[in-house]
Structure 1
Amino acid sequence: MSTKFIAAVVQASPVLFDLEKTLAKTAHLVTEAASKGAKLALFPEAFISAYPRGLSFGTVVGSRSAEGRETWLRYWNSSIEVPSKATAQLGEMARKADLFLVIGVNEKDTVSGTMYCTMLYFNPKGELLGKHRKLKPTAAERIVWGEGDGSTLSTFNTPLGKMGGLICWENYMPLARMAMYQKGVQLYLAPTADSRENWQHTLKHIALEGRCFVIGCNQFVTKSMYPKDLPGITDLDHQPEVMSRGGSVIMAPTGEVLAGPLWDEEGILTAEIDIEEVMKNKLDFDPVGHYARNDVFSLTVKDQPDSEVFE
């Protein structure tokens, strides 16, 4: 069995705040990734159906506005339940394209009324393998997203390799990274909303630290992509036209850049992955193996799930 395959990162924007049109665009992009030979396609953080960059939702310390609540409702209505008709559609996209699909979504809990920043995993059979909820939303993200409880720090044993990952600035949390290394992650997926050039250094560090392939994916978004009738649209008056430059990239366990970074446009990056490179690079460093000091350090993760095996 070949240890090589093509991985793709999809740098694009959703149709902001429009679930059905975003799903249609996603289907087109999944098909395009498959046409490039991809067996794994990663989409950005909160791709369905918006990362609410620049929006305040009418909040300041001590008060909220009626207009902000209307913006929130629009955001909520463009998000998805897991599982749902929308996740079934995403699974069907993965099945038709015969690839693993990993995509960032806004997951709404209709019982509690809480929304989570979530990463969904689908296999080529169209099955929803599982999800990861972001552990710690950053700064004003905490207005719109709840915190994951740690029970979804998942990795999945697949024919491509053991895949898992963290969302955006979770990757700055050393113990969260260590939790992924403890589970033997080989394909480290890092959807993000961070388009700073410094983010590239973070991904390179993870590749070298974890001795894993790192696949980073971001949106390319402009102000003109926001719906003109969005209640909170005036929040964007002082924002630049290009609100997220992208910066998607694929890195090897050596820290070598295999594809990207892609800036200032939508596009699909691909790179050939040879999973045996992971083991080759553990000759001289393994953060949880021969380079660990388990007699000095230990990490226990509450409710961490076992790795699951999928063919």
Structure 2
Amino acid sequence: MSNRQQSVRVAVVQAASVIMEREASTEKAVSLTLEAGAKGANIVVFPEAFIPAYPRGLAFGTAVGSRSPAGRKDWLRYWENAVPVPSETTERLAAAASKAGVYLVIGVIERDAEASGGTLYCSVLFFAPDGTLLGKHRKLKPTGAERLIWGEGDGSTLPVFDTPYGKIGALICWENYMPLARTALYAKGVQLYIAPTADARDSWQATIRHIAVEGRCFVISCNQYVNKAMYPTDLACYDELAAAPEEMCPGGSAVVGPLGDYIQGPVYGKEELLLAELDLRDVAYSRFDFDVVGHYARPDVFQLVVNEKKQETVTWRT
């Protein structure tokens, strides 16, 4: 990559979706992207599932062996507000990235536009400063009850993109607990490791600091700040939130350097735009004594095979 820069300003957007509303969530994302660009950001990162929501606390009327009509109604609303890729929504996000002059990395719930259309994926979209949709990553393994509403991605969406600010890639939330998935990104040379999440626990902070030290990379972790009052009260299964705390997700967004030290955050208890100035030389500086896929690797003992072929349900032969 020519025109390699030695530093980058990253904006981490700790904000809530307009829950279950694709258009309003997109408008909020556009506004915050432009704000970050005006503050000199080169890369803008949004949380997991920002458009149209991470539906924390909802069970969609499910129990083992049954689904309720009310739950199906809420899931249909979620589906209708999900994001086809490409679509008018991705065009608006691309235009915002172009106007702000930033790389935009944003979590969306993607509606499958390639096959039946009946499956949703938790995805991250990557946009370039010229508005190009560079690609996407689909979450490989939804966690727990997420498996009721999202499908599984495959190895065909594990990109790492070379930019003037280094190589960027992403794993979503608890994918980051998958050592082999992390290794795949390390092997692609990731330097700006983006970790959109819905996890606000202390253990998540330990995770992102470990990844930074393990990968000798910057880790940019972005979570939402959400309270119960932000949920639409006309959800058919709104009563599922009765026992939920008023503060549904306190945040915890942070930027960590390649030796595991906080550069920004973690920030809790509010929506906030975090700005971090990163010296990209710190990646090489940190790898003097540890390079997990370089001089500290033992390929004679351990090897990882990654299947990046798109998996097809039906193969047509003529």
- 1:309 corresponds in structure 2 to none
Instruction: Decide whether the 8 Å contact of 1:249 with 1:259 is kept in 2.
Output: yes
Instruction: Decide whether the 8 Å contact of 1:153 with 1:304 is kept in 2.
Output: no
Give the alignment of 1:34-113 within 5 angstroms.
34-110=37-113, 111-112=115-116, 113=118
For these two proteins, the number of residue pairs brought into alignment is 305
Residue 207, structure 1, aligned to residue 231, structure 2: no
- 2:316 corresponds in structure 1 to none
Deviations 1:103-150 (A, max 9, x none): 000000144210000000000000100000000000000000000011
State the shift of 1:62 in Å.
Answer: 0.5
Give the alignment of 1:234-273 within 5 angstroms.
234-273=239-278
Instruction: Decide whether the 8 Å contact of 1:152 with 1:304 is kept in 2.
Output: no
Q: Which letter does structure 2 place at the counterpart of 1:282?
A: R
TM-score of the superposition, structure 2-length normalised? 0.94
State the shift of 1:67 in Å.
Answer: 0.3
Deviations 1:2-40 (A, max 9, x none): 411200100000110111111111111111111221100
State the shift of 1:304 in Å.
Answer: 6.5
- 1:24 corresponds in structure 2 to 27
For residues 242 and 281 of structure 2, the distance between their equivalents in structure 1, rounded to whole angstroms, comes to: 50
For residues 225 and 196 of structure 2, the distance between their equivalents in structure 1, rounded to whole angstroms, comes to: 13
Give the alignment of 1:130-145 within 5 angstroms.
130-145=135-150
- Give structure 2 stretches of 5+ with no counterpart: 311-318
Q: Which letter does structure 2 place at the counterpart of 1:133?
A: R
Deviations 1:78-100 (A, max 9, x none): 11100111001000000000000
* SS of aligned partner of 1:105: strand
For residues 157 and 269 of structure 2, the distance between their equivalents in structure 1, rounded to whole angstroms, comes to: 33
Match of 1:219 among 209, 217, 224: 224
- 2:289 corresponds in structure 1 to 284
Match of 1:122 among 127, 134, 140: 127
Q: Which letter does structure 1 place at the counterpart of 2:254?
A: V
For residues 289 and 140 of structure 2, the distance between their equivalents in structure 1, rounded to whole angstroms, comes to: 31
RMSD: 1.0
User: Percent same amino acid at aligned positions?
Assistant: 57
State the shift of 1:201 in Å.
Answer: 0.5
- Give structure 1 stretches of 5+ with no counterpart: 306-311
State the shift of 1:274 in Å.
Answer: 1.4
- 1:157 corresponds in structure 2 to 162
TM-score of the superposition, structure 1-length normalised? 0.96
**4+ runs of 1 displaced by more than 2 Å?**
none
